[in-house]
Amino acid sequence: MIGAMIRSTARLREFERWYTATHVAGTSYEEALAVFAALWRHARLLNPDFPTDWREDVKADVELARVLHGRPRRA
């Protein structure tokens, strides 16, 4: 079923802990950003209607997070 959520189970949590420890720990911000950008490009291949620029797409989310956390706007 498209759009269905994955149920969180003990096995899934164990896998996520293992994956984070073996693949994510020690990753630099630049490396993580490169992976994110590559995944975004792949999503565009799968769905051409997917937004082109991830930075534009997340602007509203970043602004909402800023407001919710009471942070000032960047100069």
- The pLDDT value recorded for residue 3 is 56
Percent of the chain with pLDDT over 70: 93
Assigned domain for 17 exists: no
User: Which of 31-35, 36-40, 56-60 is least confident?
Assistant: 56-60
Per DSSP, the three-state class of 31 is: helix
For the chain, the domain total comes to 1
Assigned domain for 61 exists: yes
Mean pLDDT along residues 60-68: 88
Q: CB of 73 within 8 A of CB of 66?
A: yes
Segments forming the whole domain that contains residue 68: 28-75
- At 75, is the pLDDT very low, low, confident or very high (cuts 50, 70, 90)? low
Assigned domain for 64 exists: yes
Q: Give pLDDT tens digits for 18-35.
A: 988 998 888 888 998 898
Distance CA 38, CA 61 (A): 20
Assigned domain for 73 exists: yes
Q: CB of 54 within 8 A of CB of 40?
A: yes
Distance CA 30, CA 57 (A): 19
